[in-house]
């Protein structure tokens, strides 16, 4: 058994997109048209060949009628109460980074990204769901809150699966 950190939350994104699309009886072409993205983008996101930006996820979530934090990271409930946007993402990043006393270089090092990437996001640019998740983890905040300003700022609790009683007994 391999031990280590759990898979990033966005790894199940293609599954969530595919199951939701199929549940609505939409084709990929139909999803792309509803979301205002190319058919290739819809295909690549659903098959996991492309890590989408948080902006693309907001469009797909609106087209599917689900919340963007749930679609991107599996956070919260699937049902969407409002359309999510990435407006304010850069300001949220700048604010929490400054509040925690980190420079762009500090944060870039902690999240294994480059300082220009941090600067671009803070200046209003887009980022992939993987980058936002890495930044959120480094800052100790929820990726859904950082990307969309939705949900609690605190990171979600780690899910622990209980060990079977027989495994717990043999570990003693």
**Reported confidence tier of residue 85, pLDDT bands at 50, 70, 90:** confident
Q: What is the pLDDT of residue 7?
A: 56
Owner of token pair 């109460």:
81
- First CA to last CA distance, the chain: 19
Does residue 8 contact residue 133 with C-beta atoms inside 8 Å? yes
**Reported confidence tier of residue 80, pLDDT bands at 50, 70, 90:** low
Does residue 58 contact residue 83 with C-beta atoms inside 8 Å? yes
- Cα-Cα-Cα-Cα dihedral sign, residues 15, 20, 21, 22: positive
Higher pLDDT, 148 or 169: 148
Count, residues in the chain: 172
Q: Which pTM value belongs to this model? A: 0.83
* Distance from C-alpha of 124 to C-alpha of 114, rounded to nearest angstrom: 16
Write out pLDDT tens, residues 61-77: 999 999 999 999 988 88
* Distance from C-alpha of 138 to C-alpha of 117, rounded to nearest angstrom: 15
**Reported confidence tier of residue 172, pLDDT bands at 50, 70, 90:** very low
Q: Which candidate, 70, 125, 15, places its Cα nearest to that of 113?
A: 125
**Mean pLDDT estimate for the chain:** 87
**Reported confidence tier of residue 13, pLDDT bands at 50, 70, 90:** very high
């Amino acid at each position: 058994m391999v031990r280590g950190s759990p898979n990033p939350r966005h790894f199940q994104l293609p599954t969530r997109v595919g199951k939701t699309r199929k549940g609505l009886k939409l084709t990929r072409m139909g999803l792309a048209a509803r979301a205002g993205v190319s058919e290739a983008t819809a295909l690549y996101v659903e098959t996991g060949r492309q890590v989408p930006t948080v902006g693309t996820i907001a469009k797909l979530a609106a087209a599917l009628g689900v919340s963007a934090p749930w679609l991107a990271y599996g956070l919260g409930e699937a049902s969407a109460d409002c359309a999510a946007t990435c407006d304010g993402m850069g300001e949220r990043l700048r604010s929490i980074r400054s509040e925690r006393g980190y420079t762009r270089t500090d944060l870039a090092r902690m999240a294994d990204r480059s300082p220009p990437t941090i600067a671009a996001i803070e200046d209003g640019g887009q980022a992939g769901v993987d980058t936002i998740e890495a930044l959120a983890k480094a800052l100790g905040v929820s990726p859904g809150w950082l990307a969309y300003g939705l949900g609690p700022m605190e990171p979600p609790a780690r899910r622990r699966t209980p060990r079977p009683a027989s495994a717990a007994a043999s570990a003693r």
